[in-house]
Amino acid sequence: MSDRFESLEQQLEMFIENTRQLGITVSDFQPQGQQALNQKLQTMVLQMQEIDKLKSQMHDVQVPLEVFDYIDQGKNPNLYTKDCLEKALAKNEQVKGKIDQLKKFKALLLVELSEVFPKEMANYRALRGDERAT
């Protein structure tokens, strides 16, 4: 992973941790904790500014919209690539099965047509340059 991604990942991890701590502080807020709350909020603003500075390094990164759907559904975005590969493999098997069935159909059709129309099929094979009796 390049430095720009590592830097962004570190900033995001710190931001997430600060947000978690802020949530704990807010959920059990006591007036004497106002200073700590203000400090956490200030840290959050600074971290957001740091993340914003890193966006210029990410202008060439393209993320498929489906990845955000995975995140919204609470799924790990790393599963997106795995799922895409599994879908592609399944589709490939489906298409391969169709191709195999069409080849079998073609062979059977040629056999049947040769029996019913022997002259025409001989001409057809001659035109195709296929002298085999498929």
81-129 tens-digit pLDDT: 899 999 999 999 999 999 999 999 999 999 999 999 999 999 998 998 8
User: DSSP character for 132?
Assistant: S
User: What was the pLDDT predicted at 98?
Assistant: 97
Sorted by where each begins, the domain ranges of the chain are 1-61, 62-134
The answer to whether 39 and 18 are in contact (CB under 8 A) is no
pLDDT at 132 over 60: no
Alpha-carbon dihedral 24, 25, 29, 30, rounded to 10 degrees: 130
Q: How do residues 47-77 score in pLDDT, each as one tens digit?
A: 999 999 988 888 888 888 999 998 899 998 8
What is the mean predicted confidence (pLDDT) over 3-25? 90
pLDDT at 134: 45
